[in-house]
């Protein structure tokens, strides 16, 4: 097993693209859905692939369009380009609506383009779907582990409800922008939630699958790189389970920020909990905190000394309303049943 560094050369383009995306769709015509496209393998459907349905939507779309995905196993890479905001992907259940692809890090494509699901624009909703990258998961004879992304989320104002993300290394690339993950399942071992999204994970089940009993994995690799950067991962409730051992996070960049509140930690969590990832002497810049967590892995007596203690006012800054919903964008989304 190898621990690969994440490619960083695209970061300037990433920020430019992000702000471009913000300007495309400030509004999607309210809470109403303009029309629905149905995708399925058989029966009365509009398209047989999800990508064909996305391709049919006009550029610079300004009204909510729902793509209803019938239960099935879809082997394809799904890409929502930046000029197509206001899209809802609706599965029938994450256990039987599965999008799978098998790709992995290589030169020159890097990590970011390997995702089974790649979403660039603002205003995207996905519900009741499994996004899986099977490269490191299904091939049990593959001794060489590479980053293999199940989903890459670039766009601001993205809501993911009851979705599953299955991979091993770099499962969920939470790149940048405000993202709300609710009642989701996330599986992996190495840096399997990574990036610099300004993201809130509510009631999510995190499963750390330990293949190598001699090496502890990492749930997060958060990449905030300045004190004024809004990025960070907040986990509210939910649980971390699994086998082997896993750290809560390591600092991809020097101002890495991750908060767990009211989360249940199984014994899979290492005693030290966190790793500086080579940022020796910069640990005071991190914001790593565990507040009111419980379970056998929540004992903080042997944690690294540079975790933060948050008072009630500081914790309030990381509430759903304060951290990602100050402009009430979540209140203006179509109702997802």
Same domain, 195 and 147: no
Same domain, 249 and 133: no
pLDDT of residue 13: 42
pLDDT of residue 142: 58
Higher-pLDDT residue of 240 and 210 is 240
Q: Is residue 11 part of a domain?
A: no
Quick one: pLDDT band at residue 214, thresholds 50, 70, 90?
Answer: confident
Look at residue 2 and tell me whether its pLDDT is greater than 50: no
Q: Is residue 177 part of a domain?
A: no
Same domain, 139 and 197: no
Question: Picking from 57-66, 160-169, 205-214, which range would have the lowest pLDDT averaged per residue?
Answer: 205-214
Active-site residue flag, 292? no
- Alpha-carbon gap, residue 322 to 33, rounded angstroms: 28
Q: Is residue 88 part of a domain?
A: yes
Same domain, 213 and 107: no
Same domain, 194 and 323: yes
pLDDT of residue 16: 41
Q: Is residue 288 part of a domain?
A: yes
Look at residue 307 and tell me whether its pLDDT is greater than 80: yes
pLDDT of residue 18: 46
Average pLDDT over residues 211-216: 84
Higher-pLDDT residue of 164 and 21 is 164
Quick one: pLDDT band at residue 337, thresholds 50, 70, 90?
Answer: confident
Same domain, 108 and 222: no
Per-residue burial over 96-121, b if 16 or more Cβ lie within 10 Å, else e, is ebbbbbbbbbeeeeebbbbbbbbbbb
Same domain, 146 and 210: no
Q: What CATH number corresponds to the domain at position 242? A: 2.160.20.10
Q: Is residue 76 part of a domain?
A: yes
Same domain, 209 and 324: yes
pLDDT digits (tens, 9 = 90+) for 236-256: 999 999 998 999 999 999 999
Q: Is residue 21 part of a domain?
A: no
- Phi, psi at 297, each rounded to 5°: -90, 5
Q: Which of 154, 181, 208 is the last residue of a domain?
A: 154
pLDDT digits (tens, 9 = 90+) for 12-48: 344 444 444 444 445 899 999 999 999 999 899 999 9
Look at residue 98 and tell me whether its pLDDT is greater than 70: yes
- Active-site residue identified among 128, 156, 170, 183: 170
Average pLDDT over residues 147-151: 96
Average pLDDT over residues 210-229: 93
pLDDT of residue 144: 81
- Active-site residue identified among 191, 229, 299, 327: 191
The angle subtended at Cα 268 by Cα 262 and Cα 271, nearest 5°, is 80
User: Could you give the number of structural domains in the chain?
Assistant: 2
Q: What is the mean pLDDT of the chain?
A: 91
Same domain, 64 and 113: yes
Domain range for 198 is 189-331
pLDDT of residue 9: 37
Task: Note the pTM of the prediction, 2 decimals.
Answer: 0.92
The angle subtended at Cα 51 by Cα 48 and Cα 53, nearest 5°, is 65
Look at residue 206 and tell me whether its pLDDT is greater than 60: yes
Q: Is residue 183 part of a domain?
A: no
**Proportion of the chain above pLDDT 90, given as a percent:** 82
Q: Is residue 14 part of a domain?
A: no
- Alpha-carbon gap, residue 13 to 15, rounded angstroms: 6
Higher-pLDDT residue of 27 and 262 is 262
Same domain, 218 and 278: yes
Same domain, 150 and 47: yes
Active-site residue flag, 128? no
Which H or E element spans position 20?
A: helix 11-24
- Alpha-carbon gap, residue 326 to 280, rounded angstroms: 35
pLDDT of residue 112: 74
- Within 8 A by CB and 6+ apart from 124, the residues are 80, 85, 86, 87, 88, 89, 155, 157, 158, 159
Quick one: pLDDT band at residue 139, thresholds 50, 70, 90?
Answer: low
The length of the chain in residues reads 337
Same domain, 318 and 251: yes
- Residue keyed to tokens 């209140």: 331
């Amino acid at each position: 097993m190898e621990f690969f560094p994440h490619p960083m050369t695209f970061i300037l383009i990433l920020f430019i693209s992000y702000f471009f995306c913000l300007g495309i769709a400030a509004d999607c015509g309210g809470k109403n859905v303009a029309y629905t496209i149905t995708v399925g393998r058989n029966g009365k459907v509009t398209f047989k692939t999800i990508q064909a349905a996305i391709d049919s939507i006009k550029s610079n779309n300004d009204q909510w369009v729902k793509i209803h995905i019938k239960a099935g196993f879809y082997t394809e890479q799904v890409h929502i380009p930046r000029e197509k905001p206001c899209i809802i992907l609706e599965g029938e259940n994450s256990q039987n609506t599965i999008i799978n692809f098998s790709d992995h890090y290589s030169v020159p494509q890097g990590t970011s383009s390997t995702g089974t699901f790649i979403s660039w624009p603002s205003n995207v909703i996905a519900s009741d779907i499994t996004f899986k990258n099977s490269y490191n998961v299904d091939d049990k004879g593959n001794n060489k582990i590479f980053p293999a992304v199940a989903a890459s989320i670039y766009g601001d104002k993205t809501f993911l409800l009851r979705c599953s993300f299955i991979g091993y290394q770099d499962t969920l690339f939470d790149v940048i922008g405000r993202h709300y993950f609710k009642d989701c399942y996330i599986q992996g071992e190495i840096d399997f939630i990574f990036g610099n999204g300004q993201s809130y994970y509510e009631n999510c089940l995190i499963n750390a699958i330990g293949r190598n009993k001699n090496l502890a994995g990492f749930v997060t690799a958060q990449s905030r790189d300045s004190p004024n950067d809004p990025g960070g991962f907040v986990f509210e409730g939910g649980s971390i389970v699994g086998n082997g051992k896993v750290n809560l996070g390591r600092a991809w960049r020097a101002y890495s920020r991750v908060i767990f509140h009211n989360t249940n930690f199984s014994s899979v969590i290492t005693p030290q909990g966190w790793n500086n990832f080579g940022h020796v002497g910069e640990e005071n810049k991190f914001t790593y905190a565990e507040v009111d967590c419980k379970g056998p892995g929540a004992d903080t007596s042997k944690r690294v000394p540079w975790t933060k203690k948050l008072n009630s006012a500081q914790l309030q800054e990381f509430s759903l309303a304060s951290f990602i919903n100050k402009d009430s964008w979540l209140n203006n989304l179509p109702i997802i049943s």
